[in-house]
Structure 1
């Protein structure tokens, strides 16, 4: 019996040595929520792309892209020709030149400026400004979506870490039970079944820890993908969760339809469509412009020309009026289609408002329900802990069997992991509600 006991101990030592080598890594460095958000804003590829789009829109709304500034061009040229010429003058004389050379030089600076174009550039400039505002809203929506993704993964890491701590505690309890059962067996107080049951539970708890650690590593890599960090630089998450004051949440909900980023984008699109109608109407009006130029020309001519050479410099200016009286009806159709597009944008806004109101109502219900479940699960943990403590005392006194004690331990384990899941489900429900009400970027986590 002693040899069997020694073999059992050796086997268990080898098993736990292997499990420890595989399962336990160096403690991961804590990544706070604030640090995670900062890294996300700096590194996430989707956010970087959105920020570049904002920069492009900002460049487009510049006065340099408005059409209000004049255009200034410089021109220069030289022409050279050689040919055989025969010239007959009015007095009847004839002059023949073989290989007559003619050279001409010219250079000029030309200025063009549009005084009036039917207000087309005015409304185009306003449209560019509104599109810049729209691009910022689109970037905000991207940031909100990525932040929601970030916290979904971040809190998944935190949940698994808490579950891992629970499982490790369960393993310590099972180990202590196995040692106790072995001593009792050695002194003939229990049969071998108690020892075997404890060893089976140790293997089960160890397997659960191994699987959970692998899940944790996978979740940490998922977090690094969102943060665009080195995949194997695994970080630990902060398991502390605080909820926004319920009164503040109610205030956010009441103003949700005004602050929702999708609604704001719809309003921006309506403004842009209205400007596009006015811009289309400008094609029906005349265009008035100013032109000016300063130039220099020089020519050298053969003997057959009246002049041997000529040089001129001078300034020219003028005004132009252009009015496209009829373009086949394209401008009229353009105005009609722009009006229809504006009408469609208003329909889209109304539909979106209804959907957002529904989403906010559903998110509020989910949030309140998740909070209630979390409260119930907290109470359930207290009850399960009391039941386990009572069962543990009775187990030590031999009043309950190892099977009954294990069941109490599993009940506590399930209650703790369920509470952990409920906590982060409630927090994610809150984050979703904050996103819908347009407050996700205005609160601290």
Structure 2
């Protein structure tokens, strides 16, 4: 008999384990988004392209080596007249051929430092692409948590609504017993049934909203889950920095500002690269060739073969190109000035956005703390009202009002909690610290 009970217990434990849903933690969500989100993947590919462009194979510092070969075949009819009065010579269908092959090496010794500035520009462009990928990652993380916390809020709301529904069902059972024994009217039963329908509709709508939110979360994660999942609903506020220190970080680590600084460096290199066209270009060239000719009968030589090595130095100087270089340099200087102005504009925007985000965070955090206190008050009010309802000191309308007040307090608390957390993440993103904290 004891063995039977043990197997029964194990069976129920296994059933409960099979019904448990996977919990998608915040760290897992971030990891999956960084690995599978399509926007992040595209940004990483752009970084890979920029990295390939910084290779020495793309700088022009290496020589070029060209191989060429060819073959010609001739079929000629030749008629020759001699000046010494000899009889004319006629040759029909005279065949001749020529074969050649060569290999040529060209190397630019000096090009006005254009290659040097171009190589530096490619390295700066690579670092800029990394910053652009970082911006994409930060934006994706903010989007991820916006959806993740929406799922968490709806999950908390669903729990509160289900608890409310259960209390209403208990009230209906109590009202039916009281009606059966003549302690109240049918109106109490009908009121309880109406409230059950209201609570059930709220749960149905919330479940639908939760399904939609989970699909949105799957989209951000870049992958599809076959089974349903839950999310973490606990929130920890990790903002440990003072306002002034965070503002200074924002003015030095903000990703938009860093990108502008890179664009300034690239513009300076564009100016130097343009000026390199004012200088001459010096190059080396060398080639080795082989040539063989099979001549027809008219030629003095039946077969001739030649091989040879050729080397040379060249200098070219574009003294005037119609003003194209002058225009290019002037435009690069204007672009540099534009980038500097853009930096000043971004600094002003950063300070404004940071102060707005900080105040928004402080307000939402204060609201959340007030809502936490309000939960305690609403819970105490509901508990006392419930006790009085059981002994008949309050009616069902007063009980329902206390129940709704508690539910509204829980829903408002949930909304305030996740809104405050998202505001905190926004501050971290503006200050450039979003990727340096634990979620």
Please confirm whether the aligned pair reaches a TM-score higher than 0.5, indicating the same fold: yes
Partner of 1:37: 30
Matches within 5 A, 1:120-135: 120-135=114-129
User: Over the residues paired in the alignment, what is the CA RMSD in angstroms?
Assistant: 1.5
Indicate the residue corresponding to 1:80 in structure 2: 73
**Aligned match of 1:11:** none
Contact kept? 1:160, 1:215, Cα under 8 Å: yes
Question: How many angstroms does 1:246 deviate by?
Answer: 3.3
Deviation at 1:111, TM superposition (A): 0.2
Q: How many angstroms does 1:231 deviate by?
A: 6.1
SS of equivalent residue, structure 1 residue 369: helix
Measure, in 1, the Cα distance between the counterparts of 2:190 and 2:146.
41
CA offsets, 1:181-238, max 9 Å, x none? 1111111111111111111111111111111111111100110111122265432110
Aligned residue pairs total 421
- State the Cα distance separating 1:302 from its structure 2 match: 1.3
- For 2:296 and 2:218, locate their aligned partners in 1 and report how far apart those are by CA, in whole Å: 80
Deviation at residue 388 of structure 1 after TM alignment: 0.8
Alignment of 1:224-239 (within 5 A): 224-230=218-224, 233-239=227-233
Contact 2:378 2:402 (8 Å CA) reproduced: yes
Consecutive unaligned residues in structure 2, runs of 5 or more: 1-17
Q: Over residues 273-323 of structure 1, what are the superposed CA-to-partner deviations in whole Å (9 max), with x where a residue is unaligned?
A: 100111111111110000001110000111222322211112110000011
Q: 1:67 aligns with which of 51, 55, 60?
A: 60
8 Å contact kept, 1:221–1:234: no
* Cα distance in 2, alignment partners of residues 55 and 145 from structure 1: 20
Q: How does 1:399-414 map to 2 (within 5 A)?
A: 399-414=393-408
Shift of the 225–382 alpha-carbon distance from structure 1 to 2, 3 Å rule, reads same
CA shift, 1:400, in A, is 1.1
Task: Determine if the alignment matches structure 1 residue 193 to structure 2 residue 172.
Answer: no
Q: Does structure 2 retain, via aligned residues, the 8 Å contact 1:96–1:304?
A: no
What is the CA–CA distance in structure 2 between the aligned matches of 1:351 and 1:435, rounded to whole Å? 18
Query: Which residue, out of 41, 54, 60, partners 1:48?
Result: 41
With 55-64 and 80-89 compared, the bigger mean Cα shift is at 80-89
> Aligned pair 1:240/2:234, yes or no?
yes
- Structure 1 position 367 matched with structure 2 position 361: yes
1:266 is paired with a residue of what secondary structure? helix
Query: What residue number does 2:13 align with?
Result: none
Contact conserved, 2:239 with 2:424, CA < 8 A, in 1? Answer: no
The structure 1 residue matched to 2:210, chosen from 205, 210, 216, is 216
The match for 2:9 is none
Deviation (angstroms), 1:396: 1.4
Corresponding residue SS for 1:305 = coil
Distance change >3 Å, CA 98–CA 119, structure 1 → 2: same
State how far apart, in whole Å, the 2-side matches of 1:279 and 1:255 are: 33
Report how far residue 89 of structure 1 moved: 5.5
Query: SS state of the match for residue 241, structure 2?
Result: helix
Q: Hey, what's the Cα distance between the residues in 2 that align with 1:189 and 1:85?
A: 134
Matched-pair contact (CA < 8 Å) for 2:378–2:406: yes
Q: Return structure 1 stretches of 4+ with deviation > 4 angstroms.
A: 88-94
CA contact (8 A) 2:161 2:199 kept: yes
Structure 2 partner of 1:18: none
Q: Distance in 1 between matches of 2:279 and 2:257?
A: 35
